[in-house]
Chain A
Amino acid sequence: MLIDWPTVIFQIINFLILIVLLKRFLYGPVLKAMDERERKVAARLAEAAEAKGDAARRVVALAKEQQAFAEAREERMLLVSQEVEKWKNDALLRLQAEVDEKREGWNSILVAEQEAFLQKLRRLVSRNVFLIAKKALADLADDELEARLVSTFTAKIARQEDGLAAALATSTAAITCVTGFPLAEPQKEELAKALRPYLRVGREISFREENDLGFGIRLLSDGQKWEWNLNRYMLELETGIKKSINSLSGAGHEQ
Chain B
Amino acid sequence: MRLSPDSIVFFENTFIPLNGTILFTWLVMALLTLGSWFVTRRLSTGPHVPRWQNLIEIIITLLLGQIREVTRQEPRPFLPFIGTLFIFIAVCNLLSIIPGFQAPTGSLSTTAGLAICVMVAVPLFGIQDSGVGAYLKNYIKPTPMMLPFNVIGEISRTLALAVRLFGNVMSSGMIGGILLAIAPLIFPVIMQMLGLLTGIVQAYIFAILAAVYIAAGLQVHEEQAAKVEKS
Q: Which residues of A contact B (CB under 8 A)?
A: 2-12, 14-19, 21-23, 25-27, 29-34, 36-37, 40
Given A3-B109, A7-B109, A19-B84, decide whether A27 and B60 contact each other with a Cβ distance below 8 A. yes
Instruction: Check if A27 sits within 8 Å of B21, measured CB to CB.
Output: no
Q: Which residues of A contact B161 (CB under 8 A)?
A: none
How close is B50's CB to chain A, nearest CB, in angstroms?
Answer: 11
Question: Which chain A residue lies CB-closest to B29?
Answer: A18
Instruction: Check if A14 sits within 8 Å of B15, measured CB to CB.
Output: no
**Other-chain residue from A8, A26, A27 in contact with B112 (beta carbon distance below 8 A):** A8
**Bound-complex Cα distance A12 to B112 (A):** 9
Q: Which residues of A contact B60 (CB under 8 A)?
A: 26-27, 30-31, 34
Instruction: Check if B45 sits within 8 Å of A37, measured CB to CB.
Output: yes
**Other-chain residue from B3, B56, B84, B114 in contact with A30 (beta carbon distance below 8 A):** B56
Instruction: Check if A26 sits within 8 Å of B21, measured CB to CB.
Output: no
Task: Give the dominant DSSP class at B's interface.
Answer: helix
**Bound-complex Cα distance A16 to B15 (A):** 19
Given A11-B113, A27-B60, decide whether A40 and B81 contact each other with a Cβ distance below 8 A. no
How close is A248's CB to chain B, nearest CB, in angstroms?
Answer: 108
Given A10-B22, A22-B80, A23-B80, decide whether A17 and B36 contact each other with a Cβ distance below 8 A. no
Question: Which chain B residue lies CB-closest to A5?
Answer: B109
**A-B interface contact total, Cβ < 8 Å:** 120
Within 8 A of A (CB), among B18-75: 19, 21-22, 25-26, 29, 32-33, 36-37, 39-40, 43-46, 53, 56-57, 60-61
**Other-chain residue from A8, A14, A29 in contact with B29 (beta carbon distance below 8 A):** A14
Instruction: Check if B80 sits within 8 Å of A34, measured CB to CB.
Output: no
Instruction: Check if B79 sits within 8 Å of A17, measured CB to CB.
Output: no
**Other-chain residue from B16, B36, B113 in contact with A21 (beta carbon distance below 8 A):** B36
Instruction: Check if A2 sits within 8 Å of B117, measured CB to CB.
Output: no
How close is B201's CB to chain A, nearest CB, in angstroms?
Answer: 20
Q: Which residues of B contact A9 (CB under 8 A)?
A: 113
Q: Which residues of A contact B114 (CB under 8 A)?
A: 11, 15
Question: Which chain B residue lies CB-closest to A11?
Answer: B113
Q: Which residues of B contact A (CB under 8 A)?
A: 3-4, 6, 15-17, 19, 21-22, 25-26, 29, 32-33, 36-37, 39-40, 43-46, 53, 56-57, 60-61, 76, 79-81, 83-84, 87-88, 104, 107-110, 112-114, 116-117, 166
Q: Which residues of A contact B81 (CB under 8 A)?
A: 19
Question: Which chain A residue lies CB-closest to B76?
Answer: A31
**Bound-complex Cα distance A33 to B114 (A):** 29
Question: Which chain A residue lies CB-closest to B60?
Answer: A30
Instruction: Check if A30 sits within 8 Å of B21, measured CB to CB.
Output: no
How close is B7's CB to chain A, nearest CB, in angstroms?
Answer: 9
Q: Which residues of A contact B88 (CB under 8 A)?
A: 15, 18
Instruction: Check if B46 sits within 8 Å of A4, measured CB to CB.
Output: no
Given contacts A7-B109, A26-B60, 12 further A-B pairs with CB under 8 A are A4-B17, A4-B21, A6-B15, A7-B22, A12-B117, A22-B84, A26-B32, A27-B60, A27-B79, A30-B57, A32-B43, A37-B46
How close is B4's CB to chain A, nearest CB, in angstroms?
Answer: 6
Instruction: Check if A4 sits within 8 Å of B80, measured CB to CB.
Output: no
Given A11-B21, A15-B114, A19-B81, decide whether A33 and B53 contact each other with a Cβ distance below 8 A. yes
Instruction: Check if A27 sits within 8 Å of B6, measured CB to CB.
Output: no
How close is B168's CB to chain A, nearest CB, in angstroms?
Answer: 15
Q: Which residues of B contact A23 (CB under 8 A)?
A: 80, 84
**Other-chain residue from A5, A14, A17, A34 in contact with B57 (beta carbon distance below 8 A):** A34
Instruction: Check if B32 sits within 8 Å of A30, measured CB to CB.
Output: no
**Other-chain residue from A10, A11, A18, A37 in contact with B84 (beta carbon distance below 8 A):** A18
Q: Which residues of A contact B21 (CB under 8 A)?
A: 4, 7, 11
**Bound-complex Cα distance A102 to B211 (A):** 115
Instruction: Check if A14 sits within 8 Å of B22, measured CB to CB.
Output: yes
**Other-chain residue from B25, B87, B108 in contact with A2 (beta carbon distance below 8 A):** B108
Q: Which residues of B contact A27 (CB under 8 A)?
A: 60, 79-80, 83
Question: Which chain B residue lies CB-closest to A22?
Answer: B84
**Other-chain residue from B17, B33, B76, B87 in contact with A10 (beta carbon distance below 8 A):** B17
Q: Which residues of B contact A34 (CB under 8 A)?
A: 57, 60-61
Instruction: Check if A25 sits within 8 Å of B29, measured CB to CB.
Output: no
Instruction: Check if B117 sits within 8 Å of A30, measured CB to CB.
Output: no
Q: Which residues of B contact A6 (CB under 8 A)?
A: 15-17
How close is A178's CB to chain B, nearest CB, in angstroms?
Answer: 129
How close is B128's CB to chain A, nearest CB, in angstroms?
Answer: 15
Given A10-B17, A14-B29, A15-B117, decide whether A3 and B57 contact each other with a Cβ distance below 8 A. no
